[in-house]
Amino acid sequence: MIAELKITPLRYVLAVVDHGGFHAASRYLHRTQPALSMAIRELEGRLGEALFEKGTKATLTPYGSYCLPRFRELINQHDRLSRELQARAAREAGQLDMAVVPSVASRLMPKLLSEFVSRYPGIKVGLHDGNADFVREQVISGQVDIGLSSLWGSDEELQFQPLFHDEVGVVCRDDHPLAGRTSLMWQELQGESLIGNGTSRLLQGTAAESLLEMHDLYISNMISLTATLVAGMGVTTLPRLAFPQEYERLRFIELADPSVSREVGLIRRKGYSLSPAAQAMTDFIIESLGASGIPLQ
Amino acid sequence: MIAELKITPLRYVLAVVDHGGFHAASRYLHRTQPALSMAIRELEGRLGEALFEKGTKATLTPYGSYCLPRFRELINQHDRLSRELQARAAREAGQLDMAVVPSVASRLMPKLLSEFVSRYPGIKVGLHDGNADFVREQVISGQVDIGLSSLWGSDEELQFQPLFHDEVGVVCRDDHPLAGRTSLMWQELQGESLIGNGTSRLLQGTAAESLLEMHDLYISNMISLTATLVAGMGVTTLPRLAFPQEYERLRFIELADPSVSREVGLIRRKGYSLSPAAQAMTDFIIESLGASGIPLQ
DNA sequence: ACTTATGATAAGTTTTTCTTACCATCAAAC
DNA sequence: GTTTGATGGTAAGAAAAACTTATCATAAGT
């Protein structure tokens, strides 16, 4: 038979000792003195030994003296835990990991993260980037709490919350014949040296699908792709967010017909709720991107 | 505001997880299922975050998964403490120190202790021996829990529980003229070479008091005293318990007139209660010595 | 479709905890 | 020496908490 030591009576014992009496302790605890007497007597009954001497003064027995620091220790452990768990629930502490596609990582996350950490100083964020399949995999396996990417088709295991549309356009060097245009139709790309990349599958199922067959070159790595474009070896299609602004010689021209876009949104496991920290990030992202509409300049 | 996490609802959470559901857990805990539902819901309210998913299955949320091992840890600490304190109260564990005079240490304690440790296998005993003043000092200062000695006069700080009378007699070598006697009167010691020792003050206030003035020699150390007696350099007075039986050539002769004795008993601090272990020892000693009457053979 | 699980909810009961009111004891103050 | 103001303990009833019974809605198994 193991006695259930409730935390409250232990606190009463500490208070009586610390304040030197039942009355003083009762004032401190906002309880009446008999409440303490009875609770402590109850505790003594459970333990099978008196904690306080019978006399008029509130003096500990040797057994009580032995118990006191142990009570204090248990209470401290309790309070520490309670505080920690409450802090997590209140988003004042915690940890979250998210997986995002590179375009989001480089164009969206810097500003988002800096605002997030200043709003939630206690939360630690882990950011992992990779292509859409990587993001999907990480979310499904539970390696990360949430993902930021686009999803093709519906997924049984995932829940997708759309955030914004990212229009696909053509990227070429500034001396290319099409470079000065603000928009164009897919037919105008006939005969161009078109380079495929990881986002090319966005064209599948659109009027521009036949462009996919024109690929002489397929480059998945973004650095290689841009270097190739800068070298003037061809053009490619990219969502606007994935267009690397930092290259002066590259131009982005909207694809007006057909209008092709990917839908970027939050990805999470279906049927699972989020950790408080991940929920905070989710709410924060929806609030940030939802309010400002299109997130890019 | 720090939330008070009661131990019982934490146990409920563990049971639900361990048994894979509220119903299974309720059977295990001998509670009804709504009791668990409500208690856990209450706990979730305190923490400010759900522990279980809302769906039909009893699945932990990520927050719940985070909490679970911490709940388990707190409960383990609680149980360990509860068990330990109860074991002490039940005298199944603990520690006690006692101070005794050398005669008690060598003649009484060996048997007493061996019986005590077999009766209370969990209790550790520390035995410290010294003269009556040492015992008194150790008890008053709280260095030891109890003392076994005789007390002269009443002491404000000490409580004395008499156990038995220890008669004073004369000790001499087997070739001494008095050696064959079974009892004698103090006058018969006139002219003898009387050696004083730590117990000589027992004669104070008795008819034999004048013997104290006859001391040519005073030897406090027992080994030295016996060596001197064995050397035939004189006689001394000792309580029977202090008479060292292991010396073949020494004889103990009762002092019939006046009959002088010391009262040996338990000494403890007045107004303080004993630790469970010390109480066990006290009870044991009273039971052992009280029943058998005179403890010596 | 029917049965049998699951957990949630509502109302009422039991148990626990606390307060009010009072008592006994002790110590310092008048 | 009595009085006063502390101390803590006790008893009865009120308030709060925990639990049970009864019932429901929903999902999964047959």
* Dihedral, CA of residue A13, residue A16, residue A22 and residue A24, to nearest 10: -150
Q: What is the model's pLDDT at position B210?
A: 82
In this structure, is residue A117 part of a structural domain?
yes
Indicate if the pLDDT at residue B111 is higher than 50.
yes
Lowest mean pLDDT among B2-16, B114-128, B248-262, B283-297: B283-297
Q: Which of A154-158, A245-249, B102-106 has the lowest mean pLDDT?
A: A154-158
**Do B153 and B269 fall into the same domain?**
yes
Residues of B in contact with A47 (CB under 8 A): 85-86, 89
Average pLDDT of the segment spanning A255-263: 90
Q: What is the pLDDT of residues B186-200, one digit of tens each?
A: 889 888 889 999 999
Number of residue pairs across A and B with CB atoms under 8 Å? 109
Identify all chain B residues contacting A54, using CB atoms and an 8 Å cutoff.
Answer: 273
Asked whether residue A1 is domain-assigned, the answer is no
- Give the mean pLDDT of chain A: 92
- Choose among A47, A82, A86: nearest Cβ to B89: A47
> Domain limits at A271?
94-163+263-292
- Residue-level pLDDT at A227: 96
Q: Looking at the domain assignment, is residue B141 inside a domain?
A: yes
d(CA A209, CA A190) in angstroms, rounded, equals: 12
pLDDT for the residue A80:
97
B281 and B267 share one domain? yes
Q: Of the residues B89, B108, B132, which one is the last residue of a structural domain?
A: B89
pLDDT > 70: percent of chain B = 98
Question: Which one of B89, B111, B131 terminates a domain?
Answer: B89
Whether B131 and B267 share a structural domain: yes
**Domain for residue A284, yes or no?**
yes
**The predicted structure's pLDDT at residue A212:** 84
In this predicted structure, the answer to whether residue A27 has a pLDDT above a threshold of 60 is yes
**Lowest mean pLDDT: which of A114-118, A217-221, B72-76, B83-87?**
A217-221
Between A13-17, A122-126, B162-166, the lowest mean confidence (pLDDT) is in: B162-166
Give the count of domains, chain A: 3
pLDDT bracket for residue B214 (50, 70, 90): confident
CATH of the domain at A198: 3.40.190.10
Q: Are B158 and B112 in contact (CB under 8 A)?
A: no
The set of residues, in sequence order, having a beta carbon less than 8 Å from that of A293 and lying 6+ positions away, is A164
Let me know whether B135 and B268 are in one domain.
yes
Smallest Cα distance from A23 to chain B, Å: 22
Residue B2 domain-assigned (yes or no)? no
Does B270 have pLDDT greater than 90? Answer: no
- pLDDT bin (cut points 50, 70, 90) of residue A294 is low
In 3D space, the residue among A43, A48, A38, A50 whose CA is nearest the CA of residue A4 turns out to be: A43
Given this model, what pLDDT does residue B292 score?
59
The average pLDDT across B41-47 equals 96
| pLDDT for residue B213 is more than 90 | no
Q: Do residue A187 and residue A50 come from a single domain?
A: no
